[in-house]
Amino acid sequence: MNQKLLKPNELGILALGGLGEIGKNTYCFQYNDEIIIIDAGIKFPESYLLGIDYVIPDYQYLIDNQDKIKGLFITHGHEDHIGGIPFLLKQVKVPKIYAGKLAMGMIKNKLDEHRLSKATDLIIYKDLDVFTFKYMKISFFRTNHSIPDSFGIAIETPVGTICHTGDFKFDFTPIGPIADFSKMATLGEKGVLCLLSDSTNSELPEFTMSERRVGESIKEIFRRITGRVIVATFASNIHRVQQIVEASIASNRKIAVFGRSMESTLKVGLELGYVKCEKDTFINREQLKIMDENQITILCTGSQGEPLAALSRIAEGTHRQISIIPGDTVIFSSSPIPGNATSIGNTINKLFRAGAEVITHNPLTDTHTSGHAGQEELKLMLQLIKPKYFMPVHGEYRMQKIHAELAQLCGIKPENTYVLDIGQVLAFSNKGARIAGEVQSGAIFIDGSGIGDIGNVVIRDRKILSNDGLLVVIINVDLSTKEVLRKPIIISRGFIYLKDSQELVREIETQTTDFLKGILKSRKNIVQMKNELTDYLMSLIYDKIQRKPMIIPVIMNVKRQSA
């Protein structure tokens, strides 16, 4: 952070991701020469980000201040909170990463995959641990979420205590340990300066349904089904995976697992004891071929209709081991992430067409519940923590805004609620709070293994190519004699089928030749001629067929051969 933004002995809070969006949660806390980071997540690309694998924050603030970083603390093991860690470590020196046991197991796998296992020290924390630095003291309080070992984090600073909830809900009949209400209330009684709280479900005026109720519903569905059961859910939802395992055991089924992320998460869950079952509960792909259909559960990825996920390939008929057979039942144990409804619908249609029955979450089946707090739970968190100031995080702008209004209903003064944007710095001192300015921030695109190689111009070009295709015009000229030497060669990809568009092709050839004959007489170089030819053909083609392909002119300077 530009030190001019913060005065001496001021605490600065800022988000590099997770405000105005769902994903890439990365929150920074700076006091003098000390920085604590909470979470380092990714965001999955929206449909217009063609070819992009992940979106991460712009880490320039951390790059500029890496000598001040004391540690990265992880609230839980979901991708939007840990997925950015390998990309962060490739750019920034982080001395230590602190995480709960399950999250650390997942982080180790990521670092091994990226060959970063020696890039930092890894420390597993428990809910009673406390880590003390020069200015800040870090402690934890257990919460409930859709993954075990989910924690809120308290940061004691010279100007007051800051609490970050992480992702949470209040589940009074949880699958794992119940949330630590006593510790939250104790923090509130001691006094909390500012609360940063999960806003994802701030629009829902209710308590979130218990995970245990979902488990009971899944068991009942399994009891009624004959034939194979194929269940798609989020790989990281370990609680749900355990429910599916229990339902399979209760209905005398063995489980085959498909999908790389599901296999990886399940391996960590079994090793650490978060998924509990006998070893022979899981079968390999060869055993799957010889088992009775009534004794099979297939657990896979693809609940969001992702094109390369296991369920999508099964629906397409392109999976190498699994094909839909009449009598299969497919259960979607998830809800659509905003923007994925179309792809999920397409997958469901293909499954029906292939002969499967499909069960999705609805009031009659209860195959899914959210891991995020509804309005009543958000109010309960506010009343337990009793912060003087409030900053809603992890949500789109409207979700943050609604959450801020809930805070005001709970007694927080309107002038003490801050709905901020990514990069804005909220500064605290003994005199109160102020917005101190902003640091460099934004989104960096990950394409393959490249970090930031793809910019907005490339995304724009990909969008043009996907909508209108590509037209290449190759033409030989002799700049010394100012002549066009031969008829242009036209190449089309995703624009027109040349054999069926001969009239348009001939016009492009003629107009290109005539246009170049005209501008060859001027004193223009090849770059200028390419630019003018591109504009001319763009206008010509749009007038003819109302399309705007990407046009690449290739003008080659060739000497005329003597007779």
Closest CA to 90 of 451, 513, 445: 451
Q: Tell me what the mean pLDDT of segment 168-184 comes to.
A: 94
The answer to whether 185 touches 209, Cβ cutoff 8 Å, is no
Q: What is the pLDDT of residue 52?
A: 61
Q: What is the pLDDT of residue 562?
A: 56
Q: Which is more confidently placed, 169 or 309?
A: 169
- Judge whether residue 48 has pLDDT over 60: no
Max mean pLDDT range (296-305, 415-424, 480-489, 503-512) = 415-424
Q: What is the pLDDT of residue 464?
A: 58
The answer to whether 460 touches 486, Cβ cutoff 8 Å, is no
The answer to whether 166 touches 153, Cβ cutoff 8 Å, is yes
The domain made up of 211-359 has a fold known as Rossmann fold (3.40.50)
Q: What is the pLDDT of residue 267?
A: 92
Q: Where are the extended beta strands (E) located within 366-430?
A: 387-393, 424-429
Q: Which is more confidently placed, 525 or 271?
A: 271
- Judge whether residue 117 has pLDDT over 70: yes
The Cα 493–Cα 320 span in angstroms is 30
Q: What is the mean pLDDT of the chain?
A: 89
β-bridge mates for residue 30, sequence order = 12, 35
Residue type, 193: L
Give 384's DSSP letter: H
Q: What is the pLDDT of residue 343?
A: 85
Q: What is the pLDDT of residue 529?
A: 84
Q: What is the pLDDT of residues 124-145, one digit of tens each?
A: 999 999 999 999 999 999 999 9
- pLDDT-above-90 percentage for the chain: 61
Q: What is the pLDDT of residue 540?
A: 87
Q: Name the token pair of 294.
A: 């009534």
Say which range, 247-251, 287-291, 349-353, 479-483, has the weakest mean pLDDT.
479-483
- Judge whether residue 36 has pLDDT over 90: yes
Q: Where are the extended beta strands (E) located within 126-273?
A: 131-132, 137-143, 150-157, 160-164, 192-198, 229-232, 254-258
Q: Tell me what the mean pLDDT of segment 195-215 comes to.
A: 92
Q: What is the pLDDT of residue 3?
A: 53
The separation between CA 116 and the C-alpha centre of its own chain, rounded to angstroms, equals: 21
Q: What is the pLDDT of residues 458-508, one digit of tens each?
A: 555 556 556 678 888 888 888 878 888 888 888 887 777 667 778 888 888
Give 202's DSSP letter: T
Torsion, Cα 286 288 291 295, to 10 degrees, reads 160
Helix and strand numbers (H, E) in the chain are: 16, 26
Q: Tell me what the mean pLDDT of segment 239-261 comes to.
A: 93
- pLDDT-above-70 percentage for the chain: 92
Q: What is the pLDDT of residue 258?
A: 93
Q: What is the pLDDT of residues 355-407, one digit of tens each?
A: 999 998 766 567 878 899 999 999 999 999 999 999 999 999 999 999 999 99
Q: Name the token pair of 92.
A: 């920034």
CA distances from 332 to 14, 329, 359 (A): 37, 10, 6
Q: What is the pLDDT of residue 289?
A: 85
The answer to whether 18 touches 41, Cβ cutoff 8 Å, is yes
Q: What is the pLDDT of residue 498?
A: 67
Q: What is the pLDDT of residue 308?
A: 76
Q: Which is more confidently placed, 4 or 33?
A: 33
Three-state DSSP state, 467: helix
- Judge whether residue 237 has pLDDT over 60: yes
Q: What is the pLDDT of residue 455?
A: 52
Residues of the chain with CATH 3.60.15.10: 11-206+370-453
The Cα 309–Cα 260 span in angstroms is 9
Max mean pLDDT range (169-178, 310-319, 405-414) = 405-414
Q: Tell me what the mean pLDDT of segment 72-100 comes to.
A: 96
Q: What is the pLDDT of residue 477?
A: 83
The domain made up of 11-206+370-453 has a fold known as Metallo-beta-lactamase; Chain A (3.60.15)
Q: If pLDDT is split at 50, 70 and 90, which confidence band does 227 have?
A: very high
Q: What is the pLDDT of residue 362?
A: 67
Residues of the chain with CATH 3.10.20.580: 469-557
Q: If pLDDT is split at 50, 70 and 90, which confidence band does 46 have?
A: low
Q: Which is more confidently placed, 561 or 425?
A: 425
The answer to whether 192 touches 153, Cβ cutoff 8 Å, is no
- Please provide the distance, in angstroms rounded to a whole number, between the alpha carbons at the two ends of the chain: 71
The Cα 31–Cα 7 span in angstroms is 10
Q: If pLDDT is split at 50, 70 and 90, which confidence band does 451 have?
A: low
Q: Which is more confidently placed, 86 or 453?
A: 86
Point out the residues that are catalytic: 198, 372
Q: What is the pLDDT of residue 503?
A: 83
Give the containing element (helix H, strand E) for 392: strand 387-393
Q: Tell me what the mean pLDDT of segment 290-298 comes to.
A: 92
The Cα 125–Cα 275 span in angstroms is 20
- Judge whether residue 196 has pLDDT over 60: yes
The Cα 473–Cα 477 span in angstroms is 13
Torsion, Cα 158 161 162 168, to 10 degrees, reads 160
- Judge whether residue 408 has pLDDT over 60: yes
Q: What is the DSSP string of 440-489?
A: ---EEEEETTEEEEE-HHHHHHHHHHHHH-EEEEEEEEETTTTEE-SPPE
Residue type, 125: Y
Q: Tell me what the mean pLDDT of segment 1-13 comes to.
A: 84
The answer to whether 280 touches 270, Cβ cutoff 8 Å, is no
Q: What is the pLDDT of residue 206?
A: 85
Q: What is the pLDDT of residue 507?
A: 86
The separation between CA 111 and the C-alpha centre of its own chain, rounded to angstroms, equals: 18
The answer to whether 85 touches 244, Cβ cutoff 8 Å, is no
Query: Looking at domain 469-557, which CATH architecture does it have?
Result: Roll (3.10)
